[in-house]
Amino acid sequence: MAKLNQIIAVEKGVKAKSHQDLTAAHHGLQKPALLAGIARTYQPKDEEGEQLPPESTRVQVRAEDVLRETAGVLTRLFDVTATKDWANCTARADVKVEGRVLVADVPVAYLLFLEKQLGEINTLVRRLPVLDASEAWAQDPSTDAWKTEAVRTVRTKKVPRNHVKAEATDKHPAQVEVYYEDIPVGYWTTVKFSGALPARRVNEILDRVEKLQQAVKFAREEANGVEVVDQRVGDAVFGYLFG
């Protein structure tokens, strides 16, 4: 008895062959010359007339044959797909993480959905912003964010000063150079806030996502290992359609 994963593997090839054969059948039916035949003979008006050989063209495509061949091609596809879909109704498995059943008796179709969604969640987690490791962060309940310790810095103001390079004499004025001096005028107290996450938290979530992804894949393989009952749908369908 075949298993579901074997039927899934076969289905793709059956679909491809069915598509190829049906395309060829469509092309044949769209060429009127292949469907037409003729037979004619020539008889001169009298015995002295010119004798011509008979002419004939055989029918190369018969619509009834195309229907029969189509039924044969599609019957295999219908049966394989039915076998898979019937089996999918009963194919189930538990999703287990570290020996604990997280979700029990999950249908294979939902396992496929989970697998796709977890892939997108994995991408999201990898893009989460991480707190700057050069700062010391602590949670702040009042803002529901992370914050640093207050840092006090001096605010300065540039004040012009005169530097006398040469005193004035009776012949020359004093030589004065203007320069600026930074004078403290106040203090800034700065606290940084962030909505990012600690790297440890991001790594923990990513580890859980990857474990669950692996568990879902194992469950899908287990579910796809169920034995299937061959379904015979094609004969009934095409027996009615073309019978």
Q: In the 3-class helix/strand/coil scheme, how is 47-111 assigned residue by residue?
A: CCCCCCCCEEECCCCCHHHHHHHHHHHHHHHHHHHHHHHHHHHHCEEEEEECCEEEEEEEEHHHH
pLDDT of residue 48: 79
Q: What is the mean pLDDT of the chain?
A: 89
Compute the average pLDDT of residues 174-184.
Answer: 86
Distance in angstroms between the alpha carbons of the first and the last residue of the chain: 31
pLDDT of residue 1: 66
- pLDDT-derived band of residue 176, with 50, 70 and 90 as boundaries? confident
On the question of pLDDT at 174 being above 80, the answer is: no
Give the whole-number percent of the chain exceeding pLDDT 70.
100
Strand order, beta sheet including 193-194: 137-140, 145-148, 193-194
Quick: pLDDT tens for 33-73. 777 888 888 888 888 788 888 888 887 878 788 888 889 88
Burial classification of residue 226, based on how many CB atoms lie within 10 Å of its CB (0-12 exposed, 13-18 middle, 19 or more buried): middle
Compute the average pLDDT of residues 172-187.
Answer: 86
Compute the average pLDDT of residues 129-134.
Answer: 94
Compute the average pLDDT of residues 155-183.
Answer: 83
